[in-house]
Each structure stands twice: as structure tokens, then as C-alpha cells.
Chain A
Amino acid sequence: MKPQYRESSEKSVSLDPEQWVDAYGDYLFRYAMMRLRNRDLAENIVQETFLAALKGRKSFGGRSAERTWMIGILKHKIIDHYRKDFRERPVTDLQVMQTDEEQTIDGFYDALENPKKYPKDWMPDQQAILNAKDFWEVFHGCLGYLPAKTAHAFTMRELDDMQTADICKELGISPTNLWVMLHRARLQLRECLERNWFDIKK
């Protein structure tokens, strides 16, 4: 059998559960905060993640880096959280949400359906942005202006690259509901990033 060189570096680190909190706690917490925006909730979900990891430790077997494995567990926990949250909402509540999304979209345009503020001429430089720490602070700030549910839908779609049909099943909403949420999120985020980053850094 051929040795698997590519996997070896990923596999190498596997810590005792006593070391987990110090090694991965802050990383998982930051991720949870980005998604949940509530300290208590984020702390609880990080704890749940570690406990689930403890239970599943034997079946994990180092197929990927330990941290990647844990982030995977955390993501599922976050999705579970929002799933409950969405499902417990009455239908009227979802209708109110949809109306709010539509009104926000309308707010970007004048009576003739032209943008109130025309997009400026800029293009992001992918590599530069990936290295710019403050860009991601601005991005998280902009994401914070969206309602938590909209930000969650947007995150699953654009950051986790989930398929539209899966997200819509997950949230129990129609594809049109989802599309309107995503559209609102795109309009608002693009404008927020233009105002707070691209227009300044040019």
C-alpha cells in the first residue's frame, strides 16, 4: 500500500480531552459568536460541542484534523438551534418576516425603481482581502446589521456553500422566502461593505 503523505500532517495533532478547551475553545467560540451573536448561547453551544466530541471520540479516528472535526460538530449544533427556532414560529410570524424583507429591498430604490445610491466602480482583490484582518471585522459588523435569521440563511448559502433546496428544507420555508432573504442580504451587505471598506480603501 502507498503511504498517504498528504493526510499525515492533518492527522498528526490529536489532543487529550483535558487540553481541548485551551486548544480549540476560543476558535470554536468565535465561530459560534459569529453565527449566534449571543455570549451565553455561544458558550453553551461550545460546551455541547465538546461533550458531543467526547462521546464520538472513538469513532472519529483522526480522519481529518481534530479542529476541523469539531467545527463540523459545532456547525450541526448551530443548524439544530436555528431549526428549532424557525419551526417554533407561527406562520404569521414568517409572513411578517417576509414583509420586512420586501420593505427593506424596496428601501434601496426610488419610485422609478432606480437605486437611491448607485453602486460605485470597484472590484475586490481576493488575495488582499483574505489577508486583511480588518476586512473581516467590517464584514462581521455588516452581517450584524441583518436580522439573525437572515444572516443565518445567508451564512449557510454563501459561507458554507449549502444548496438552496437543503437550506429551504432546513428552515422549513419556501424557496421564494429564502430567495427574498438572500437577495435582501446581498443588497445590504454589498452596500455596507462599499461604504465601510471598498470606498475607503480605494
Chain B
Amino acid sequence: MNCSNWETETKLPLVTSCKQAARLFSLSLERKLTIREYIVMRVHLFMCKTCTFYGNQVKALRAIFIRHEEVLSNTPVSSDDQLSDKAKMKIKKSLMSNDDLS
């Protein structure tokens, strides 16, 4: 699998739809856009207020998601969100038996 082998959007009209603009926006988060792709996306965003909301929201959410581990360790555990006692016993047993071997 060649992981740098990107398809490029060659037949883009200068004025494009919200659907196409959102695709280009996602693409811009994965690789550098071609000049044509970049201009087409910018032109759309310039004209379209809701797509600008969309882009800013997706970007802001990304900045939050990346910090999710801080939250994972702060949040208290709810009852259905923890290892069952049975599983804990099982794991403890397997740890003990493997520790003896080493």
C-alpha cells in the first residue's frame, strides 16, 4: 500500500458546493491542498457563512479531542464503566501465576 499516493481533485469548478467545500476542508487536514483546491475552498468559504461555522467548529473540536486523556484520568468511574469483580479476580490470578514463573 502506497500511503503517499493521493488522488487529486482535478476537475474542480472555481465556484463549488457546500458538499465539495467540506470535502476539501477535510482533505486539507490530511494533506497539503493543490493551489487549485485551496483557491476553490477559500472562494467558497468567503461566500458561505455556514461553511465557515462548520470549518471553525471542526477545527476547534479537534483541539479539544487531542486533550481527551486529561479528562479520562479526571473523571470518576461510574458503576457500569468498570471491570467486574469476576474479571478482576481472573486477571489477578493470571498475574500471580505468571509472576511465579519469572
- For residue A114, CB closer than 8 A to chain B, the reply is yes
Q: Are B75 and A136 neighbours in the complex by a CB distance under 8 Å?
A: yes
What are some 9 contacts across the A-B interface (CB < 8 A)?
A: A18-B92, A26-B77, A30-B82, A31-B72, A46-B87, A126-B67, A159-B68, A165-B4, A190-B54
A195: shortest Cβ distance to chain B, in Å?
13
In angstroms, how far is the closest chain B Cβ from the Cβ of A91?
A: 12
In contact, A115 and B70 (Cβ under 8 angstroms):
no
| CA distance in complex: A24, B38 (Å) | 46
Q: Which residues of B contact A29 (CB under 8 A)?
A: 81-83, 87
How many residues does chain B have at the interface if contact means C-beta atoms less than 8 Å apart?
57
User: Chain B's interface: helix, strand, loop or mixed, by majority?
Assistant: helix
**A148 close to B (CB within 8 Å):** no
List A residues 29-54 near B (Cβ within 8 Å).
Answer: 29-31, 33, 43, 46-47, 50-51, 54
B interface with A by C-beta (< 8 Å): 1-7, 17-20, 22-23, 26-27, 29-31, 50-51, 53-54, 56-58, 60-73, 75-77, 81-84, 87-88, 90-92, 94-96, 98-99, 102
B83 touching A126 by the CB < 8 A rule? no
Q: Mark A150-194, 1 if CB is under 8 A from B, else 0.
A: 000000001101001110110011111011001100110110011
List residues of A whose CB falls within 8 A of some B CB: 17-18, 20-22, 25-27, 29-31, 33, 43, 46-47, 50-51, 54-55, 67, 71, 105, 108-109, 112-115, 118-124, 126, 129-130, 133, 136, 158-159, 161, 164-166, 168-169, 172-176, 178-179, 182-183, 186-187, 189-190, 193-194
